[in-house]
Structure 1
Amino acid sequence: MPPEGRREATQAYGTDTASDVVRWAAFCCVLVPVVLVGYGISLAGAMGAALGLAAVTGVCRVLLRQSERGAARPAPVRSCGHRGSRGRTVPGARKGGRRTG
């Protein structure tokens, strides 16, 4: 279940934010070569740029999906009362109070 703010934003817009980003990136992968050819860059150069943008878009999509899956998982519960084998709660902590002299 997504966090409150995320769920409200998704319901308000009706789409997933990561999907929107990937759609815009795919649109740019098509638009950029067209603009480059329009400005006189060779077709091979424009296709090279398109392939590079498509590769970056694919990697970003994978990372966004992985991030969404990680955010959807519940946070692990940590116990504060457990002590180590020597009875220390913090590395370097000592038993007892101050030592004088």
Structure 2
Amino acid sequence: MRWAVFCCVLVPVVLLVYGTSLGGAAGTALGLAAVTAACRVLLRRSERGLRTELRDGLRDGRHSRS
């Protein structure tokens, strides 16, 4: 997650250095932050589902899905 925050800050700074407008850099930062947040939510949801599936599989005596 630290890399995502770093990139969300670094990319707009680089855009400003190379002459992009402040509004364009801010829009890019907001877009990157939104994508990062969505990915984080999806990752947590899939990890939670995997833990549940593993727990239920061990309880039922199954080790993998067929």
TM above 0.5? yes
Task: Give the letter for the 1:28 counterpart.
Answer: C
Superimposed CA distance per residue, residues 16-35 of structure 1 (whole angstroms, 9 cap, x where no aligned partner): xxxxxx22111100000000
The structure with more radius of gyration: 1
Matches within 5 A, 1:2-41: 22-41=1-20
**Equivalent position to 1:58, from 33, 37, 42:** 37
Task: Give the letter for the 2:33 counterpart.
Answer: A
Task: Give the letter for the 1:62 counterpart.
Answer: V
What residue ranges of structure 1 are gaps of 5+ in the alignment? 1-21, 78-101
Q: Kindly indicate which of the two structures has a greater share of residues assigned to helix.
A: 2
TM-score, structure 1 normalization: 0.52
In the TM superposition, what is the alpha-carbon distance from 1:75 to its structure 2 partner? 3.8
Question: Where does structure 1 differ by over 6 angstroms across 4 or more consecutive aligned residues?
Answer: none
Who is 1:45 aligned against? 24
TM-score, structure 2 normalization: 0.77
Superimposed CA distance per residue, residues 23-55 of structure 1 (whole angstroms, 9 cap, x where no aligned partner): 211110000000000000001100000000000
In the TM superposition, what is the alpha-carbon distance from 1:71 to its structure 2 partner? 1.2
Matched pairs, number? 57
* Aligned-CA RMSD value: 1.5
- Is the counterpart of residue 72 in structure 1 residue 51 in structure 2? yes
